[in-house]
């Protein structure tokens, strides 16, 4: 039986998952692929830690060169992460004519266009299913299953750490810091958790799937990003009263000659299928012309779920090698000459529904002044709620709006913030409600 040799660079959490699947499920994979996938070499600076997997002698080495320079290895799996040496090794592998599998969303979001050009030029595969949504086959779904569809919109919970933190605060009243510490202990937070909680990890993933869905180059820098660190238990409690939950969403929408690309905390109604996606789970809803609405759901991080996606990519490449199919799929879903530089809509131009919370003096006329300013900027109020009474006289006034333009909202909130009767910076949370006015 033909053997296909695989080399692994980096054997941390996900790398270990890949090694376990390739070794423990070797017979199963052989039966499905029709060739033996041999994990020939694994390079990691740590060759001591027990990965719970029985490597043959000489497989685990500290020198990446033993993977990159081995002419027998046809598939290199980059599991180092980050944008430094990982990029260098991927380029080296491509130059040597090796196919590459990676889960490195930060690298793809930042340098994906360059890496894809290099892979195309060398005629090799660059596979990256595990870079978005862990085990959820979102890349395959966009590139293959939905190839006949025009995609209208995607809305995703794409960061397990943020979803875990928001779920713990919502369901158990946990403190932000303790929920984050738990996510770190579970191993799904990034090495630098600010990438998670400030929304950048989600933005990396949105940049990748927007490119695939809409036929644009990967564009990270124009994505509007807001994390979850400003979300208070008070706002989560108000959300619950209105049958909303707060989720960190990645939103990518086709707007004709532009796309929306934004990441921010968002209130969603209990009728939204993302409402019950809790803990560290991920999900993405896709709206497309043929399928209507659909959703993918599963673990977006972790050793085995992410390892599963990587092994799926390895097998795709192995099957291409076996059948001589070459690079069967365009790396970025569209043919290179069909990929456009589609501009991202500035966030000031989006229109959506809003939740506002004001800390206002509890005296006659304040509410009407605030409502008057909103009216002046064309913002229509859907409901108003005033809660309790604080000792210093400031009370939270919560308003939900009909659809409004973000630029108008910004102007109105700036004016309201300047009122003597308003003691704190107003809180704004966008609401995603496709069924609203
Ligand atoms: N830090 C990421 C998360 C890992 O929390 O979802 C998967 O990309």
Are residue 397 and residue 253 in the same domain, yes or no?
A: no
Residue 103 in any domain: the answer is yes
Q: Which of 86, 75, 73 is nearest to 125 (CA)?
A: 75
Q: What share of the chain is helix, strand, coil (3-state, %, to 5)?
A: 40, 25, 35
User: What are 414-434's pLDDT values in tens digits?
Assistant: 999 999 999 999 999 999 987
Are residue 130 and residue 147 in the same domain, yes or no?
A: no
Q: Which DSSP state fits 150?
A: P
Helix (H, G, I), strand (E, B) or coil at 313: helix
Q: Tell which atom from ligand 1 comes closest to the C-alpha of 158.
A: 6
Q: Give the mutation target among 196, 200, 247 for probing the ligand 1 site: most ligand atoms within 8 A of CB.
A: 196
Residue 342 in any domain: the answer is no
d(CA 196, CA 193): 5
User: What are 27-50's pLDDT values in tens digits?
Assistant: 999 999 999 999 999 999 999 999
Distance 217 CA to ligand 1 centre (A): 23
Supply the pLDDT for residue 27: 98
**Which position among 87, 205, 245, 253 bears the catalytic label?**
205
Are residue 213 and residue 123 in the same domain, yes or no?
A: no
**Is 205 a residue of the active site?**
yes
User: What are 303-359's pLDDT values in tens digits?
Assistant: 999 999 999 999 999 999 999 998 899 999 999 999 999 999 999 999 999 999 999
Residue 341 in any domain: the answer is no
Residue 340 in any domain: the answer is no
Are residue 148 and residue 273 in the same domain, yes or no?
A: yes
Residue 259 in any domain: the answer is yes
Supply the pLDDT for residue 435: 67
Are residue 144 and residue 120 in the same domain, yes or no?
A: no
Are residue 91 and residue 151 in the same domain, yes or no?
A: no
Q: Whose CA is nearest to atom 7 of ligand 1?
A: 301
pTM: 0.97
Distance 260 CA to ligand 1 centre (A): 23
Query: Residue 204: which CATH number?
Result: 3.30.360.10
Percent of the chain topping pLDDT 70: 98
Query: Residue 60: which CATH number?
Result: 3.40.50.720
Helix (H, G, I), strand (E, B) or coil at 366: helix
Are residue 246 and residue 374 in the same domain, yes or no?
A: no
| Average of per-residue pLDDT across 388-395 | 68
Are residue 195 and residue 62 in the same domain, yes or no?
A: no
Are residue 295 and residue 183 in the same domain, yes or no?
A: yes
Are residue 277 and residue 155 in the same domain, yes or no?
A: yes
Query: Residue 362: which CATH number?
Result: 3.30.70.260
Q: Whose CA is nearest to atom 8 of ligand 1?
A: 301
Containing domain of residue 241, as a range? Answer: 138-299
Tally of CB atoms within 10 A around 56: 10
State yes or no: pLDDT of 225 exceeds 80.
yes
Are residue 178 and residue 313 in the same domain, yes or no?
A: no
Name all residues whose Cβ lies below 6 A of ligand 1: 159-161, 188-190, 196, 201, 300-301
Are residue 352 and residue 313 in the same domain, yes or no?
A: no
362: confidence class by pLDDT, cuts 50, 70, 90: confident
Number of domains in the chain: 3
d(CA 174, CA 38): 45
Residue 180 in any domain: the answer is yes
Residue 214 in any domain: the answer is yes
d(CA 56, CA 132): 31
C-alpha separations of 235 from 228, 244, 315, 396, 414 in Å: 12, 10, 46, 10, 20
Residue 343 in any domain: the answer is no
State yes or no: pLDDT of 437 exceeds 80.
no
């Amino acid at each position: 039986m033909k053997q296909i040799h695989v080399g692994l660079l980096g054997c941390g959490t996900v790398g270990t998952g890949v090694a376990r699947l390739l070794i423990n499920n070797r017979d199963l994979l052989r039966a499905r692929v029709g060739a033996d996938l041999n994990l020939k070499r694994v390079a990691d600076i740590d060759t001591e830690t027990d990965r719970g997997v029985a490597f043959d002698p000489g497989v685990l080495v500290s020198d990446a060169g033993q993977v990159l320079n081995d002419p027998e290895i046809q598939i290199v799996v980059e599991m180092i992460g980050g944008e430094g040496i990982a990029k260098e090794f991927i380029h080296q592998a491509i130059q040597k004519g090796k196919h590459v599998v990676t889960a490195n969303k930060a690298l793809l979001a930042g340098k994906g266009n360059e890496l894809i050009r290099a892979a195309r030029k060398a005629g090799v595969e660059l596979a990256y299913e595990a870079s978005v949504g862990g085990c959820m086959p979102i890349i395959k779904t966009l590139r293959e299953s939905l190839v006949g569809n025009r995609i209208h919109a995607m809305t995703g919970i794409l960061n397990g750490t943020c979803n875990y933190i928001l779920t713990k605060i919502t369901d158990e009243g946990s403190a932000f810091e303790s929920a984050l510490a738990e996510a770190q202990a579970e191993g799904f937070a990034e090495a630098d958790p600010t990438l998670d909680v400030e929304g950048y990890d989600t933005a990396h993933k949105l940049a990748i799937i927007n490119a695939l869905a809409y036929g644009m180059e990967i564009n990270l820098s124009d994505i509007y990003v807001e994390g979850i660190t400003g979300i208070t238990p008070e706002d989560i409690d108000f959300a619950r009263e209105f049958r909303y939950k707060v989720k960190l969403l990645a939103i990518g929408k086709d707007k004709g000659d532009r796309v929306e690309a934004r990441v921010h905390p968002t209130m969603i109604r209990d009728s939204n299928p993302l409402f019950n996606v809790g803990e560290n789970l991920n999900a993405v809803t896709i709206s497309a012309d043929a399928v209507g609405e659909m959703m993918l759901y599963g673990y977006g991080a972790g050793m085995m779920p992410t390892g599963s996606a990587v092994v799926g990519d390895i097998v795709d490449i192995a099957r291409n090698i076996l059948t001589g199919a070459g690079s069967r799929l365009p790396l970025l879903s569209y043919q290179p000459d069909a990929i456009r530089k589609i501009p991202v809509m500035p966030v000031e131009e989006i229109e959506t529904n809003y939740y506002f919370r004001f800390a206002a003096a509890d005296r006659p006329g304040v509410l009407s002044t605030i409502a008057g300013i909103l009216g002046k900027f064309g913002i229509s109020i859907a409901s108003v709620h005033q809660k309790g009474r604080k000792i210093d006289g400031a009370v939270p006034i919560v308003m939900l709006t009909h659809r409004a333009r973000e630029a108008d909202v910004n102007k109105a909130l700036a004016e309201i913030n300047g009122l003597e009767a308003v003691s704190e910076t107003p809180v704004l949370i966008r609401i995603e409600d496709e069924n609203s006015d």
